[in-house]
Amino acid sequence: MVGTSMDHKLRHAARTYGGLLIMGVAAIPIGLIIGAIDAIFGRALLAIGSFRDAHLIFLLPFLALAGLAIAFCYKTWGKNTSRGMSLVFDVGHGREESISLRLVPLIMGGTWITHLFGGSAGREGVAVQIGATVSHWIGRKLPFKHPGNTFLLIGMAAGFAGLFRTPLAATVFALEVLVAGRLEYRALFPALIASLVASATSGALGLEKFEVALTATVSLDATGITRLAILGVVFGIVGGAFAWCLAHAKTLAGRLAPNPYVRIGVIGVALSILLFALWQGRYCGLGTNLISAAFANGATIYSWDWIAKFILTIVTLAAGYQGGEVTPLFSIGASLGIAISGLVGIDPLLCAALGYTATFGGATNTLLAPIFIGCEVFGFSYLPAFFIVCAVAYLFNMDKSIYTLQERA
């Protein structure tokens, strides 16, 4: 009797860990493929941004026409892929069965066009959608019984990791983003493997990782913790406000201009004028120029940079242009951190780093991902500061998320 029970336990363990090992092995080629796509997408996007900055006066006036081209492509060939991250979340929650592979070229091409002609948008949503689409499609071809949304999560993690080269943050981001307050632990091992492989692959193909070496010291006495908590409140509110404003801006734009051509055309003309009038394209593209300025001693960050980037990114995405929100959120948080560092008495570069991470967390309603991003980009020695600020930001973001279909536990 004892032997039978032991045999049953051994067989169960073999099935459990054997299946986990096989899933981890399957994650390796997925990470390779997604990392390679991320490298192509990311390097092309950076080259496009540099070309746009050098020829802005000739490209920005055609932003509206570029928007019409994007709308035409999605209306003609996109089917339901125009839903972007909402489609990914519906598949993750089991409300949709699949994501068409046509999403990959459409989202990549649409984002390249948006950035070429000066739209203020990001790139993370693109990478996550690419990863989710490719991995979920591969998972449906493999003979796994009842994998659920595991392959989707593997792809989301790999897409994030391949683009930002932060595999730990990418792993926990995929595990926690579908349902706020709950972690999808069953995907932990294969998601981590795919993230590490994707990050290494994109790095080997020339996609550089953004890193900053900080030298500031962090005081964790009562005064220091209070200052960090205040920053968390500010960054959490700003992140939550970004998510709230984005959702309402999209609703308002759709109600005022139901026709996608009219919507993107009219708003595109207004954006061209605004983006050029406001410091000749300072707020175009990803916002990496603001991030670089925030972490470069002697560079200029204006007190209004964060709010200008905040508004123009929301308008760009509400119009229907393609791209993500995270890199603009990084730039919003970093420039806001510089602007308020003197008020809270914290080193400006450290304050910018805390804003970089916590504003992202506040806008995505995630806790662990921003903490790990902070550690992987700025150093694990600052873990206590990132933990305090991101935890407070998570509590004060008004439970809002840029991912409107994110569920709550």
Asked if residue 214 is part of any domain, the answer here is no
Q: Is the same domain home to 119 and 153?
A: yes
The residue type of 12 is: H
Rounded Cα–Cα distance for residues 373 and 248 (Å): 28
Residue-level pLDDT at 321 = 97
For residues 275 and 120, the answer to whether their CB atoms sit within 8 Å is yes
Contact 314, 321 (CB under 8 A): no
Q: Please, what is the end-to-end C-alpha distance for the chain in angstroms? A: 42
**Pair 118, 237 in one domain:** no
* CATH number where 191 lies: 1.10.3080.10
Looking at the fold, whether 178 and 235 belong to one and the same domain comes out as no
> DSSP characters for 37-71?
HHHHHHHHHHHHHHHHHHTHHHHGGGHHHHHHHHH
- Looking at the structure, tell me whether residues 8 and 113 fall in a common domain: yes
Q: Are residues 153 and 59 in the same domain?
A: yes
* pLDDT at residue 144 is higher than 90: no
**Which pLDDT value is given to residue 298?**
74
* Helix, strand, or coil (residue 193): helix
pLDDT interval class at 261 (50, 70, 90): very high
Final residue belonging to a domain, choices 204, 230, 252: 204
pLDDT 10s digits, 33-50: 999 999 999 999 999 999
Total structural domains in the chain? 2
* Sequence-distant (≥ 6) Cβ neighbours of residue 192 within 8 angstroms: 157, 167, 168, 171
375 with 386: CB under 8 angstroms? yes
**Mean of pLDDT over the chain:** 94
In a domain, 112, yes or no: yes
pLDDT at 159: 98
Q: Whole-angstrom Cα distance, residue 188 to residue 311?
A: 36
Give SS3 for 180. Answer: strand
In a domain, residue 35? The reply is yes
Flag whether pLDDT at 169 surpasses 80.
Answer: yes
Could you read off the pLDDT of 337-353 as tens digits, one per residue? 999 999 999 999 999 99
Q: Where are the alpha helices (DSSP H) in 257-280?
A: 260-277
DSSP letters spanning 122-170: -SHHHHHHHHHHHHHHHHHHS--SS-TTHHHHHHHHHHHHHHH--HHHH
Mean pLDDT of all residues in 91-108: 94
pLDDT at 50: 97
Domain coverage including residue 90: 2-204
Does residue 321 sit within a domain?
yes
- At 7, the pLDDT band (50, 70, 90 cuts) reads low
Last residue of a domain, one of 178, 204, 230: 204
Closest CA to 362 of 405, 330, 316, 408: 330
Contact predicate 194/154, CB 8 Å:
yes
What does the pLDDT look like over 319-340, one tens digit per residue?
999 999 999 999 999 999 999 9
User: 263-289 in b/e burial notation, b at 16+ Cβ within 10 A?
Assistant: bbbbbbeebbeebbebeebbbbbbbbb
pLDDT at 150 over 70: yes
Contacts with 352 (C-beta within 8 Å, 6 or more apart), sequence order: 294, 295, 333, 334, 335, 337, 338, 341
177 and 253 within one domain: no
- 213 in any annotated domain: no
The closest alpha carbon to 125, from 360, 315, 379, belongs to 360
Does the pLDDT value for residue 406 go beyond 80? yes
The identity of residue 124, as a single letter, is: E
Could you read off the pLDDT of 289-304 as tens digits, one per residue? 999 999 998 789 999 9
Rounded Cα–Cα distance for residues 27 and 200 (Å): 14
User: Packing angle between helix 85-92 and helix 150-164, nearest 10 degrees?
Assistant: 140
Co-location of 287 and 381 in the same domain:
yes
In a domain, 349, yes or no: yes
Using pLDDT thresholds of 50, 70 and 90, give the confidence band for residue 5. Answer: low
Residue 408's φ and ψ, nearest 5 degrees, are: -115, 135
Q: What six digits make up the tokens of 4? A: 């039978």
